[in-house]
Amino acid sequence: MRAPRWLDLPPAGAAVLALALFGAILAAAGKHPLQAYYDTATYVLASRQGFTELFVRMGPLVMTALAVAIPARVGLFNVGGEGQLYMGALFATGAALYAPLNGPLLLAATILAGFAGGALWALVPALMRIAGVANEAITTLLLNYVAPLAVAYQIFGPWRSPESSSYPQSHRIAEAARLPSLPTTRVHAGLAIAAACLALCVYVFNRTRWGLEMRAIGANRLAAAHLGLPVRTYLVVAMALGGGAAGLAGMAEVSAIQGRLVSEVSPGYGYMGFLVAWLAAGNVSRIVSMALLFAVISAVGDVLQITQRVPYAVVNILMAAILFSVLCVGPGARRR
C-alpha cells in the first residue's frame, strides 16, 4: 500500500506534527501543553539560566551522537551510548580520585580515563560482533543496564563519601581534576571538547583516506574486504572511538558539573544521542542543529516536571513522536 502523498511532509512539518501529537497526549492526560510550550519558550529564550542550560546539554548530546555516528559510518549500530557514558564517568572518577598526579597532568589523566572507560565498554560488543557471535545492537543495549550498576556499586561501596549519609556519592575529586567552567554559569569546557571532536570527525570523514575507507566499508563490507581494506580493524576501532566519545561525555559530567560520582550521571543523554545522530542521518554537521533541538526538548521535560508535576521521562514521548514522524511521514521514509 502506498501512503497518501499528503503524508510527505518536510522535516519542519514532521517536527510540528510531533509537537501537536505530544500536545494532544498531554491534553488527554489532563495537562496543559500550550502552557508548557509557552513556559519552555520563555525559559529558554528569556532567562539566562534556561539559555545557558542549552549549551550545557548540547555538549554531552553532541558527544553521545558521535558515539553513534562514528560506528554508523562503518555500518555498526551503537545503541550503548548511555552505558558507555556511565563507564566513562566511572573511569574518570577513578583516575581523578586515585591517580598519583598533580595539576594539569591529573586533568589529562581524568580525560583519558573517561575516554578509555567508554571505549572499553564499546569494545566488548565490537569484538563479539567481529567474532560473529552477537549483533552489536542487542549487546550494547544490554550493557546499558550493567554500567549504572557498576557506578552504584562504587558509590554505595568502596568510593562512598562519609559526608553523604542519605544520598550516596563518591568523595569530591581534586580541584586540579575539574574541567573549567565559564564564570557564573554551568557552561563548561566539555562543550569545547565536543566542538573539537565534531570538527575532527568532519575532517576525517570528508578529507582523509580513513574517512573514504570507512564509507566504503559502511556501503558494502564485502566489497571493501575484497579491496583489501582491514574491515575488522575498522569496525573495532570505530566502535571503540564511538564509545570513547560517550565516555568523554560522562567524564565531563563528573569533572565539570558534579565534581564527584553520583548515581544519576545522565538524564538519558546516551539514548537522546542516538536520536540526534539518527535524525542527522549521517551528516555530521547536522548533529549540531539536532543536538540543539534535543537540548530544547529536554528543557520541555524540565519545565513539565517543575510546573506541571509530570515525570521527566514523559518527554520521551515527544522524542518518539519526532522520530516516528520522520520515519513515517518525512521524506526520509521514502528513501529507496
Partner 1 sequence: MTWTLVAATLAASVAAGTSLLYAALGETLGERAGIINLGVEGVMLVGAACACAVASSTGSPYLGMLAGAVAGVVASAPFAYAVVDRAANQLASGLSLLFLGFGASALIGNPFVGALIPPLPSVSLRMPLGEGAAAVRVDFLVAAALPLAGLVAWLLMGTRWGLRLRAVGENPVAAFAAGCNRRRLQYEALAIAGMLSGLAGAHVALGVAYTWAEFMTGGRGFIAIALVMFARWNAWWAVAGALLFGAAEAAQLQLQAGGVDVSPFLMNMAPYLLTLALLPFTGKAGRLAAPAALGRPYRGVE
Q: Which residues bind partner 1 (CB under 8 A)?
A: 1, 3, 25, 29, 77, 79, 124, 128, 131-135, 137-139, 141-146, 149-150, 152-153, 156-157, 271, 274-275, 278, 310-321, 323-324, 327-328, 333, 336
R_g of the chain computed on alpha carbons: 20
Q: How far apart are CA 200 and CA 178, in angstroms?
A: 24
Q: Which is nearer to partner 1, 198 or 275 (CB)?
A: 275
DSSP letters of 122-175? HHHHHHHHHTTSS-HHHHHHHHHHHHHHHHHHHHHTTTB-TT-SSS-BBPPPPG
Question: Nearest distance from residue 283's CB to partner 1, in Å?
Answer: 16
C-alpha dihedral (178, 182, 186, 189), degrees to nearest 10: -50
Q: Which is nearer to partner 1, 115 or 271 (CB)?
A: 271
Residues in the chain: 336
Q: Which is nearer to partner 1, 99 or 323 (CB)?
A: 323
Q: Any idea which residue has 545503541 for its cell?
A: 79
Q: Count other C-beta atoms under 10 Å from residue 306's C-beta.
A: 12
Q: How far apart are CA 301 and CA 57, in angstroms?
A: 13
Q: How far apart are CA 59 and CA 43, in angstroms?
A: 19
Q: Which is nearer to partner 1, 11 or 229 (CB)?
A: 11
Q: How far apart are CA 119 and CA 245, in angstroms?
A: 8
Q: Which is nearer to partner 1, 134 or 225 (CB)?
A: 134
Q: At what angle do helices 231-252 and 48-73 cross, to 10 degrees?
A: 170
Grid coordinates standing for 290?
539536532
Q: Which is nearer to partner 1, 48 or 336 (CB)?
A: 336
Q: Which is nearer to partner 1, 153 or 203 (CB)?
A: 153
Q: How far apart are CA 59 and CA 52, in angstroms?
A: 12
Q: Which is nearer to partner 1, 94 or 190 (CB)?
A: 94
Listed in sequence order, the residues at least 6 apart from 221 whose beta carbon sits closer than 8 Å to its beta carbon are: 75, 231
Residue 163 backbone dihedrals phi, psi, to 5 degrees: -75, -10
Question: Nearest distance from residue 300's CB to partner 1, in Å?
Answer: 12
Contact between residue 80 and residue 125 where contact means Cβ atoms under 8 Å apart: yes
Contact between residue 214 and residue 74 where contact means Cβ atoms under 8 Å apart: yes
Question: Nearest distance from residue 184's CB to partner 1, in Å?
Answer: 34
Q: Which is nearer to partner 1, 210 or 312 (CB)?
A: 312
Q: Any idea which residue has 583516506 for its cell?
A: 209
